[in-house]
Chain A
């Protein structure tokens, strides 16, 4: 069992497994990967890389999606 690390997701601190990937985090949060964009430390990730990018202590993750908006 890997030890826990602290990361920031959408501005909130949370713990996560030290060997977790971005894909693992999205699954844990029950977020469908279609139509979300993920920024890892200000770098926008390609959807196909979600399962290859592992998280490190202090990482800042932003998960965004489309909402109602207009003009």
Chain B
């Protein structure tokens, strides 16, 4: 699969596993897990600098922005105004126009407010951002996001951090068939088989954080996810056999006594 490249908005991505950097024990563990995952895209959040404790290390001291594509998010934003403000701050702090846009609708589920998402995406695209929208598994919303200029759509598999896996494979499949830009399944993965399943459905990539960072051994789980995404992609490209209710013998009848 050497020429099986993921291209979004003219940028080439080596890995189809993208990872978050939250919830790790420390930066050393973050770095090791990300190395084990083989991911070349890492998401980060934008927050106030601690101005009283100068000893605090910076995440980017551990993640070389020359080696990784740093993808800032607007996590924690519950309205269009905040999401746009954080996106602009992320661009001012960083080096690129990439933004993982989240406009959340509810604290308990962290489900996206898709109306707010579309509105915020329109504003940011007009300002030259490359908007990667975190959205629900709704094919109509996905199409609207593409229509306004999002180069990728990132539907959830299940609520953020829930580990419930692929809750609605049929909607995701419809999105993958209908939408002509890359689809990245974002959030909800619990273990390696979930990631493989997402890729087998035809996802172009999977983005996760808690499934790795919250595992008992995050570094081992990061490696498991790397292989799961790779295996799932290979299986998708290989083309699975159709499901049948009854058996089909693998050994020939001919030549039997």
| A contact set with B: CB distance below 8 Å | 9-12, 29-32, 35-39, 44-47, 62-71
Contacts and interface: CB of A to CB of B under 8 A. Distances in A.
Contact of B93 (A30, A66, A71): A66
Given A35-B60, A70-B23, A64 B89 contact: yes
A35 to B, nearest CB: 5
Given A44-B88, A44-B92, A64 B49 contact: yes
Contacts of A31: 49, 51
Q: Is the interface of B mostly helix, strand, loop or mixed?
A: mixed
Bin the interface of chain B by size: 35 or more
A10 B23 contact: no
A45 B92 contact: yes
Interface of B: 19-24, 27, 30, 43-49, 51, 54, 58-60, 70, 72-73, 75, 88-94, 134, 160-161, 186-187, 207-210, 213
Contact of B46 (A9, A38, A64, A70): A64
Contact of A62 (B44, B45, B48): B48
A32 B22 CA distance: 22
The 8 closest A-B pairs by CB, nearest first: A70-B20, A69-B45, A70-B209, A37-B93, A37-B92, A70-B22, A68-B21, A66-B44
Given A12-B51, A35-B60, A47-B92, 16 more contacts: A10-B48, A31-B51, A35-B93, A64-B47, A64-B48, A67-B46, A67-B59, A68-B20, A68-B22, A68-B30, A69-B22, A69-B44, A70-B209, A70-B210, A71-B161, A71-B208
